[in-house]
A and B are shown apart, each in its own frame.
Chain A
């Protein structure tokens, strides 16, 4: 379980996060949604420790993560898998070497054992026959899959995904969502996904937190997000003309 308590972060005079308190449960796909620039990525990076919060607490089970020293923080980081917005695959390494990278550092496995694990992870994300390709030789969707394979290489307890669908076509985006959801349930991982894609929300949102201008203004799940009366959330959810028409049709149907 991950918990943030009154998490705040400033960049200069700009308050990017204001007193964010939220719990993320194991086995749940928790989504942080909000418009671009609302503070989602800063929140995610503050939780994983890539940004130091100015105030507040980040708990990983019983450990107050943001107060830990480097060595103890490192131990928790070994249990974290993270999928970055741009994939963040290592340019100098092939697909296989990318997935093997954390294994080289933190396991004593033989090369055969590592290869076996790499192939298992790549198969799990439906990526075969791409082992020897470099990141610049594969598509954006494939890069995301490699990113997921690398993130799950060491059986993480926590999985963080920063806008996993950005730059992907709708079909691939749905596949990536399903993959994240399946992996979360399969390994009982605490998964936190940053997104502004409403498709993702409706597909995998076990828990949804809506961030607006650095404030957590709404919490719920995919089943009650459409019926919320929160004004900011409704502006976000029904921003597109298609969504507005669907809402109008739904209300007509009810009447």
Chain B
């Protein structure tokens, strides 16, 4: 318990340092766009592939689970849309990004720590935590919700492709279901979730990387811890945000 509290305290102190004013706005923006490219744009292919396939799988599973002839077939499209927007495109994608982006951030910063690059920055009088972490936090929290939107669209496309290929329901039923009882608030809810999840992934991974020790083995351990802790934190945050925003 004491160790957990110490860890949380250390995390809060690091975040305090991270959110201090950047040394130079120009350097911050330059790093912001570099990180946006590396952490968000580079994640597009994996998110796209997974979204298309999961969209297809959701449609097949839903179609085969609706056996009652009194339930309209358009509910396949409706349920696929709701599953994607409410849970899959934010939570599932966040868990995938926790693995991909989280390990990337943690190992990059961890390697810099053990090779004394962070010490070198500190010795120059640079706030290393702000320089290394703040642009990543800003880039992922701001742009990952757009990644979530893209995932949603591609999930629907994936479902549509499966409908065309397998004919589990007609394309007309599917598209009618997609338009049925649409609530824009769910998109907003999902984008907010994604933004918060991105903050968790980036800050937790950066935290474990920043305090990595013990050579390359230590960097590996910190990456694993970063993924585990951010994944669990995402699940807890998901519960809290859902209760707050959908209740």
Contact = CB atoms under 8 A, between A and B. Distances in A.
Nearest to B30: A104
A80 B123 contact: yes
A88 B116 contact: yes
B119 interface: yes
A82 B120 contact: yes
B55 to A, nearest CB: 37
Interface in A87-115: 88-91, 101-102, 104-106
B124 A105 contact: yes
B117 A90 contact: yes
B51 to A, nearest CB: 31
B52 to A, nearest CB: 33
B125 interface: yes
B119 A88 contact: yes
B24 A105 contact: yes
Contact of B125 (A50, A84, A91, A106): A106
A85 interface: yes
B24 A50 contact: no
Contact of B27 (A50, A82, A105): A105
Nearest to B123: A82
Max chain A C-beta neighbours (<10 A), residue from B119, B122, B125: B125
Interface stretch (A70-78, A167-175, A211-219, A241-249): A70-78
Contacts of A74: 125
Contact of B116 (A75, A78, A84, A102): A84
A77 B116 contact: no
B interface bracket (residues with beta carbon within 8 Å of A): 10 to 19
Nearest to B111: A91
A223 B214 CA distance: 40
B245 interface: no
B124 A101 contact: yes
Contact of B119 (A50, A75, A78): A50
Contacts of A86: 115-116
Nearest to B17: A70
Contacts of A50: 119, 122-123
7 contacts: A50-B119, A77-B123, A78-B125, A84-B116, A85-B116, A86-B116, A160-B123
B125 A77 contact: yes
Nearest to B126: A105
B23 interface: yes
Max chain B C-beta neighbours (<10 A), residue from A88, A101, A104, A160: A88
Given A77-B125, A82-B120, A82-B123, 19 more contacts: A50-B123, A74-B125, A77-B124, A80-B123, A80-B125, A84-B119, A84-B120, A86-B115, A86-B116, A88-B115, A89-B117, A90-B112, A90-B120, A91-B111, A104-B24, A104-B27, A105-B24, A105-B124, A105-B126
A135 to B, nearest CB: 10
A75 B122 contact: no
Interface of A: 48, 50, 74-75, 77-78, 80, 82, 84-86, 88-91, 101-102, 104-106, 160
Contacts, number: 49
Nearest to B120: A88
A235 to B, nearest CB: 30
Contact of B117 (A78, A80, A91): A91
Nearest to A160: B123
Contacts of B23: 105
Given A104-B24, A105-B23, A105-B27, A77 B122 contact: yes
A101 B27 CA distance: 11
Nearest to A154: B124
Nearest to B124: A102
A48 B115 contact: no
Contacts of A89: 117
3 A-B pairs with the lowest CB-CB distances in the bound complex, closest first? A77-B125, A88-B116, A88-B120
Max chain A C-beta neighbours (<10 A), residue from B23, B27, B117: B117
A169 to B, nearest CB: 22
Contacts of B24: 104-105
Contacts of B119: 50, 84, 88
B26 to A, nearest CB: 9
B125 A75 contact: yes
Contacts of B117: 88-91
Max chain A C-beta neighbours (<10 A), residue from B119, B124, B126: B124
Nearest to B20: A70
Contacts of A78: 124-125
A164 B28 CA distance: 32
Contacts of B122: 50, 77
Interface string B107-147: 00001100111011011111000000000000000000000
